[in-house]
Amino acid sequence: MFGNLKTQPADKILQLMGQFKADPRTDKIDLGVGVYKDATGLTPVMRAVKAAERQLWETETTKTYTGLAGDPDFNAALSSLVLGDALAADRLSSVATPGGTGAVRQAFELVRMASPEARVWVSDPTWPNHLSILKYLGLPVEPYRYFDGDTRAVDFGAMMADLAVTKPGDVVLLHGCCHNPTGANLTLPEWAEVAALLEKTGAIPMIDIAYQGFGDGLDADAAGMRLIVERLPEVLIAASCSKNFGIYRERTGALMALSDPAKREVTQGTLAFLNRQNYSFPPDHGARLVTMILTDPALRADWQAELEAVRLGMLALREQLATELRTLSGSDRFGFLAQHRGMFSRLGASPEQVERLKMEHGIYMVGDSRLNIAGLNTKTVPVLARAILAVGI
């Protein structure tokens, strides 16, 4: 049987990580991997997470299963964080998942079960794993234009033109905030136009929100998504706690589905069924930490303060890099770096220029020129700026 297996395509980011580790240069810079790093290059455990873990270690009395949908308190707490005032309990179904990727996978499984012929519209570009999972599941995929390679901003007119031909039952995948890989995001008025268009075409929005709190703040980052929830009858949301709680390896996320109240019970049952078919019970440790933090005023305040410091630190690095490049180049063509939000920006370099950055300067980024702003610090920003210009970007 195993003789029939074929070599699978290697994950380019994981390949890049291996190359970086093998590089003996001591001044190398890793801007490829998609995790937050502080100024020392560490992905730290947040203070509130450490405190919650200490409490949990003292008070937890069992490691038995929770439920197919996960702990109800976790689903309630995370749904409240994500949806805010848009939360309508009579419309909401929710299950815990192994990270945001698990939520994305379960959402696509739900789409395939409910409407196997549905086309899933994805931004060009998008997170590569979106496309990989869709291909594996055999769901039809349609790209919609999103990123203007010249301005490095959202090409909103082209996006709306492409989505105008969506049909009832189609699914439109949107990034809730901090678009990966470009860093270019919709404005709130643009979100309103998208909502109006989807109301007209009957397509169903699916929102992947993996970086809430990394862009303009917890509520601002969710504002567009909440507008969609309030205006559309059916919405899917894949939420991740990996980044904003810093619990990457705990695999903590949730899939939420907003539906007609009359369909809520069957929708909730279907989500639980899909969990059972995939991994039965979702992991609980990270979910329990998140629940403790969100429901304890002191822990929540400390978590939000640290998250805000992370966000402001990334914005400061963006401003510093844009300013450094403006000074060195004598132009504002890199101003988009200060306008983007989240960990990522697409630089607009060619694959050859990206390769030169790696070989000549020890600077590693993904081949499409996505760079992780959080991989920088105040000392390496000038190094990157000089290298960017040296390779002709």
What is the pLDDT confidence band of residue 169, given thresholds at 50, 70 and 90? very high
Say whether pLDDT at 276 is over 90: yes
pTM above 0.85, yes or no: yes
Say whether pLDDT at 30 is over 90: yes
Mean pLDDT of 203-221: 98
Say whether pLDDT at 45 is over 90: yes
Mean pLDDT of 345-365: 96
pLDDT at 136: 95
The token duo for 329 is 């180049």
Mean pLDDT of 262-288: 97
Alpha helices in 253-330 (DSSP H): 264-278, 285-295, 297-329
Q: For the chain, how far is it from start to end, CA to CA, in angstroms?
A: 49
Q: How far apart are CA 307 and CA 299, in angstroms?
A: 12
Strands (E), 149-248: 153-154, 171-175, 204-209, 235-240
CB contact at 8 A, 172 and 237: no
Active site residues: 127, 208, 210, 243
**DSSP, residue by residue, 71-103:** -HHHHHHHHHHHHGGG--TTTEEEEEESHHHHH
Say whether pLDDT at 9 is over 90: no
Say whether pLDDT at 33 is over 90: no
Residues 6+ apart with CB under 8 A from 129: 101, 104
The position carrying tokens 């086309």 is: 119
Q: Which element (helix H / strand E) includes 371?
A: strand 370-372
Q: How far apart are CA 257 and CA 232, in angstroms?
A: 12
Residue 228 CA, distance from chain mean position: 18
pLDDT tens for each residue of 302-327: 999 999 999 999 999 999 999 999 99
Q: What is the mean pLDDT of the chain?
A: 97
Mean pLDDT of 326-339: 96
Q: How far apart are CA 301 and CA 316, in angstroms?
A: 22
Mean pLDDT of 136-154: 97
Say whether pLDDT at 66 is over 90: yes
- Mean pLDDT is lowest, of 12-16, 65-69, 147-151, 185-189, for 12-16
Mean pLDDT of 367-380: 95
Q: How far is CA 27 from CA 24, 76, 295, 324, 374, in A?
A: 9, 45, 43, 19, 17
pLDDT at 166: 98
The position carrying tokens 């992905």 is: 43
pLDDT at 268: 98
The token duo for 206 is 């699916």
pLDDT tens for each residue of 109-140: 999 999 999 999 999 999 999 999 999 999 99
Q: How far apart are CA 307 and CA 213, in angstroms?
A: 7
Which 8-state DSSP code applies to residue 53?
A: H
CB contact at 8 A, 240 and 207: no
Q: How far apart are CA 73 and CA 380, in angstroms?
A: 43
What is the pLDDT confidence band of residue 14, given thresholds at 50, 70 and 90? confident
pLDDT at 112: 97
Say whether pLDDT at 11 is over 90: no
